[in-house]
Amino acid sequence: MKKQIISALLVGAMAVSLAACGSSGEAGKTAESGAAQPANVEKEDDHTLSVYAWDKNFNIPALEAAEKAYQKKDPDFKLDIIEQSQSSDVENALTLAGSSDDYSTLPDIVLFQDHYINKYVADYPDAWQDVNDADINWDDFAAEKISFSTIGGKHYGVPVDNGTVIAAYRTDLLKEAGHSIDEMTGITWDKFDEIGKDVYEKTGKYLLCMDGDGNDLPYMMMQAEGKSQFKDGKPVFADDDTFKQIIGVIAKLQQDNVLYLANDWSDYTDQAIQGDMVAGVINGNWIIPTIEQVKDNSGKWEITSMPTLSGEEGYASNGGSSLYLTAACKKPDLAKDFLAYTFGGGEGAQATYDEALTKGGVITTFTPAGGSDVYNQGVEFFNNQPIYSQIVKMGANVKPVEQSDYHYPAREQIASAIQNIIGGADVDSSLKDAQDQVVFQMNSVTSEAA
């Protein structure tokens, strides 16, 4: 009963999270949305591994790059990539397998969202094999990224992508308003608001935008302060002074025409960013391809770190996934060697990460990879900044903060509270109501499980 209740709570939240982590269309072996295909490996032998993954334009090219790199070591190696329509298909497959206590339907490896893995390891501990003994120097990865997949002192996953937050700005619009990218680096939110008002007055553009339904700003702003929305497993929306300050900042930015809160994800990406309504975007670096869709703005964007309450440079992460070994894998030694050799920093890591970047736009949190020529090339769209090596360095500065299995329910309740506050509702009571709603969900699961 516990597994069924938890799954029901998570399904709605998973749908909200998909946009930030990517989804894919049809190509190769693609599963229908909501139901993962059985892991039928075409050639079950000592040189083949199967994997579930989504997004033919992002994660799939990264896996293909890893397969190619490992074939330098084992020419007969094949990675059977079973493409899923979206990330929730993988989660649903785990839920179905766990509910029946039959993990034989799973592939050897699954790509899994970082924010969900702790819950699924706790609920279905027999579904996984740890990779603790893989030949990987875990210190070479950003500590915040590894914190998701390190559970009970064991490493369960090998990172693929990098969710490090970028603050990207249109330098031409900043200049038109009498400002520069240098002024946006190491800046307080109060100063950001002042500059944003100038930008709106002079150009008619908002300095920042965010999806009002899936509002990630509070989480990112708190992490940039080195804090979490949860403490000891409980939400602190109404109890933490820093969090209340941040919510106040968001409301003021909106009221001052500095922040555009979009109606939904499509409004955020298609109208605000690609519709040329904004002079700035703050989000995980996976937002870069969306920004780049407006070809006429090539050379006009640059990136830097986030603002903070104190004015120190802020670093945060939002979104991302890692690769996990399932109980169905009968060749764990091959799987761990493949992961270590490629994504884990082995001899094939640089080739894997360089090609994953050039073919899929996947940026790594494996710090040494950021030193390659590929990573240090200037990117024309971003005024020839070497943004990829810059993002890897920024990622190394992101502080791990307490995570929660209720990250997405919290995001939903906080977004609703912000809308109420903007509409004139009391800050304290709105945040208390949001906190109570999340606590209610948490207690409902606990009581049903008992």
Is the pLDDT at 386 greater than 90, yes or no? yes
CA triple 51-44-352, angle to 5 deg: 40
- Is residue 229 within 8 Å of residue 410, measured between CB atoms? yes
First vs last C-alpha separation in the chain: 9
Mean pLDDT for the chain?
A: 90
Is the pLDDT at 31 greater than 90, yes or no? no
Write down the CATH superfamily of domain 165-316+402-442. Answer: Periplasmic binding protein-like II (3.40.190.10)
- Lowest-pLDDT choice from 9-13, 232-236, 407-411: 9-13
What average pLDDT score do residues 315-342 get? Answer: 97
What pLDDT sits at residue 1?
A: 39
Is the pLDDT at 4 greater than 60, yes or no? no
Is the pLDDT at 394 greater than 90, yes or no? yes
**What's the rounded Cα separation, in Å, for the pair 68 and 315?**
33
What average pLDDT score do residues 308-333 get? Answer: 97
Q: Which residue has the higher pLDDT, 447 or 141?
A: 141
Confidence band for 36, pLDDT divided at 50, 70 and 90: low
Write down the CATH superfamily of domain 2-162+320-374. Answer: Periplasmic binding protein-like II (3.40.190.10)
What pLDDT sits at residue 446?
A: 59
Is the pLDDT at 441 greater than 70, yes or no? yes
Is the pLDDT at 68 greater than 60, yes or no? yes
CA dihedral 159, 215, 315, 292 (to 10 degrees): 70
Please report, rounded to a whole number, the percentage of residues in the chain having pLDDT higher than 90.
84
What pLDDT sits at residue 3?
A: 42
- Residue 337, number of CB atoms within 10 A of its CB: 18
Which regions of the chain carry the CATH code 3.40.190.10? 2-162+320-374, 165-316+402-442
- Is residue 311 within 8 Å of residue 186, measured between CB atoms? yes
Specify the amino acid at residue 346. G
- Is residue 233 within 8 Å of residue 410, measured between CB atoms? no
The radius of gyration of the chain from alpha carbons, rounded to an integer in Å, stands at 22
Residues 292-308: b if buried by 16+ CB within 10 A, e if exposed: beeeebeebbbbbbbbb
Q: Which residue has the higher pLDDT, 296 or 21?
A: 296
What average pLDDT score do residues 194-216 get? Answer: 96
What average pLDDT score do residues 100-106 get? Answer: 96
Is the pLDDT at 281 greater than 60, yes or no? yes
Is the pLDDT at 18 greater than 70, yes or no? no
